[in-house]
Amino acid sequence: MQIGGYTLSHGLFLAPLAGVSDRSFRRVARRFGAEYTVSEMVSAKALCYEQISKRPVTETRVRTAPLAAVLREEAPMAVQLFGAEPDFVAEAARLLESGEYRGACGEIPPAAIDINMGCPMAKIVGNGEGSALLKNPALAAEIVRATARAVSLPVTVKIRAGWDAESINAVEVAKRLEDAGAAMICVHGRTRAQMYAPSADWGIIRAVKEAVSVPVVGNGDVFSGEDALRMLRETGCDGVMIARGAQGNPWIFSEVAAALDGRPYTPPTREERLAVALAHAEDIVREKGERIGVAESRKHMAWYLHGLRGAASARNAVMTANTLDDLRAIFSSLMQAEP
């Protein structure tokens, strides 16, 4: 599929994951086959306020802009904005495209501006943002229209099936977003009320795909190559977006690519899994410094160790690691241990 100037041969997307899909996570996902990544969600309003703030730009004060920074090596990567006010979302998008935003540590503009219309968190929907926009399709469309007018980058949207079981309206919303200028729509087949369980309804992805002519990316419950094939077959979607299935398992993208190509897939060995996990932690520390980096690495390391024989006590040890050397020691004894 095509997005902006980019062609994705397998249509493999790494999903936006607040608190997870930072640069290190995106990097390791891309290494193993993710063709397109999305930033963690970024507040449009915070980005705009930081821009007009009179306070000096320092790492500690500017907290939003680094989340939206895109390096050359990361293309194609979208930046995802959340917000409920068309002017703020449009202005934040303009700042990102022009590279004007304060504290910018990126090298290139994003491949696209993605707008979050799926986040279920109370503090987000309480402001009318994220999935709350599904309750107001006219406003959702206005946000896309204003943003598409403000930038020449593609404007894409990530939606859910609807707000709750009584108001499943992804098809209506998707049509209005397409009319307003959305260049691609990603559908997570759950309502806001369902949060992340039970299983996603792929029927709604199919219904959206049949209703619009822009590319539709399916999302929800892809945890293997077989899942991805089934989603593509059952929904006709143009691409597959993976979130939780990539946590501690960036190889899922190689697995899906192999399934699409009809090639056999060889999962990583225990040694490779451990080596990639540790390299991931080292990369987080390089990006964020040791104190924050080790703290943020813990959950990733626990995901990598999940299901690995003999790793239960190492998972506990990871949770109390304070330095990179602590992590190295844990991984080194795992590597020497008999599986």
Ligand X SMILES: Cc1cc2nc3c(=O)[nH]c(=O)nc-3n(C[C@H](O)[C@H](O)[C@H](O)COP(=O)(O)O)c2cc1C
Question: Which residues are identified as catalytic?
Answer: 119
Q: Which CB, 79 or 153, lies closer to ligand X?
A: 79
In 289-323, which residue ranges form alpha helices assigned H by DSSP?
290-305, 312-319
Q: Which CB, 51 or 224, lies closer to ligand X?
A: 224
Element (H, E) at 156: strand 155-162
Q: State which amino acid sits at residue 149.
A: R
Q: Which CB, 192 or 317, lies closer to ligand X?
A: 192
| DSSP code at position 15 | P
Q: Which CB, 292 or 329, lies closer to ligand X?
A: 292
Give φ, ψ of 267 to 5 degrees: -65, 160
Give φ, ψ of 242 to 5 degrees: -120, 130
Q: Which CB, 109 or 220, lies closer to ligand X?
A: 220
| Bridge partners, 42 (sequence order) | 81
Q: To the nearest whole angstrom, how small is the minimum distance from the Cβ of residue 253 to ligand X?
A: 12
| Bridge partners, 188 (sequence order) | 160, 219
Q: Which CB, 116 or 147, lies closer to ligand X?
A: 116
Classified as helix, coil or strand, 112 is strand
Length of the chain: 339
Q: To the nearest whole angstrom, how small is the minimum distance from the Cβ of residue 197 to ligand X?
A: 10
Q: Which CB, 303 or 331, lies closer to ligand X?
A: 303
**If you search the block for the tokens 């895109």, which residue do you land on?**
70
Q: Which residues of 128-137 are buried (b: 16+ CB within 10 A; e: fewer)?
A: ebbbbbbbeb
Which of 115, 119, 161 is CA-nearest to residue 139?
A: 115
Q: To the nearest whole angstrom, how small is the minimum distance from the Cβ of residue 130 to ligand X?
A: 8
Q: To the nearest whole angstrom, how small is the minimum distance from the Cβ of residue 16 to ligand X?
A: 4
Q: To the nearest whole angstrom, how small is the minimum distance from the Cβ of residue 202 to ligand X?
A: 11
Pair 191, 162: CB distance under 8 Å: yes
- How many CB atoms are located within 10 Å of the residue 275 CB? 14
Element (H, E) at 160: strand 155-162
Pair 242, 253: CB distance under 8 Å: yes
**If you search the block for the tokens 């160790």, which residue do you land on?**
305
Structure tokens at 77: 């990567």
Pair 128, 136: CB distance under 8 Å: yes
Element (H, E) at 200: none
Q: To the nearest whole angstrom, how small is the minimum distance from the Cβ of residue 288 to ligand X?
A: 18
Q: To the nearest whole angstrom, how small is the minimum distance from the Cβ of residue 332 to ligand X?
A: 29
Provide the binding-site residues for ligand X, judged by CB under 6 A. Answer: 15-20, 40-41, 80, 116, 118-119, 158, 188, 196, 219-222, 242-245
